[in-house]
Amino acid sequence: MKPREGKRNRAAARERGRQAPAASTPEARVAVTFRHVEPTEAIKVYGERKLAHAAKHLRRACEIHLILTVDKYRQHGEVTVKSGRFAVTAQEETKDLYSVIDLLADKVERQLRRHVEKKRAGKMRSRSTGEVLTAVEEMPGPPRPARR
């Protein structure tokens, strides 16, 4: 007998589905460094929140280092994402630190997405001449007429 599909069962299944992806997301340790600028908690939390999303593209835990620098009217940002032997870096410069963080997050996420797509596509090795010839000889085909 099949269990009855009711609102409670569907709600429980939906809740289990929401919790499953959270467990598979790798941990991202975000470090924020301020140079020539007074460190504020708001900018630090904003940077950590925006850059932590980059970890969803990776399979293992990663370290993200965000460096924010101010030189007169130029707000400069640099981010490095390291996961195992893989590393991604990006730099941006605008007039606002929040927009710098937004642009860096977009740039890093784009690079990580492209890297994952390349790895997923993979390179297929073409078959050697010997492999092709043995495959042709082993193929069953119509019987050949006897030569005289």
**CB of 32 closer than 8 Å to CB of 77:** no
The CA-based diameter of the chain, rounded to the nearest angstrom, is 96
CA–CA separation, 8 and 130 (whole Å): 61
pTM score, whole prediction: 0.66
CA-CA distance, 72 to 36, in Å (whole number)? Answer: 10
Residue 29 contacts residue 58 (beta carbons within 8 Å): no
CA 29/CA 13 separation, integer angstroms: 31
H helical segments located in 69-140: 97-121, 129-138
Q: What is the pLDDT along the chain (148 residues), one digit of tens a residue?
A: 555 666 677 778 777 777 765 556 678 899 999 999 999 999 999 999 999 888 888 888 899 999 999 998 899 999 999 988 889 999 999 999 999 999 999 999 999 999 888 888 876 677 778 877 787 777 776 666 777 6
**Distance (Å, whole) CA 33 – CA 70:** 12
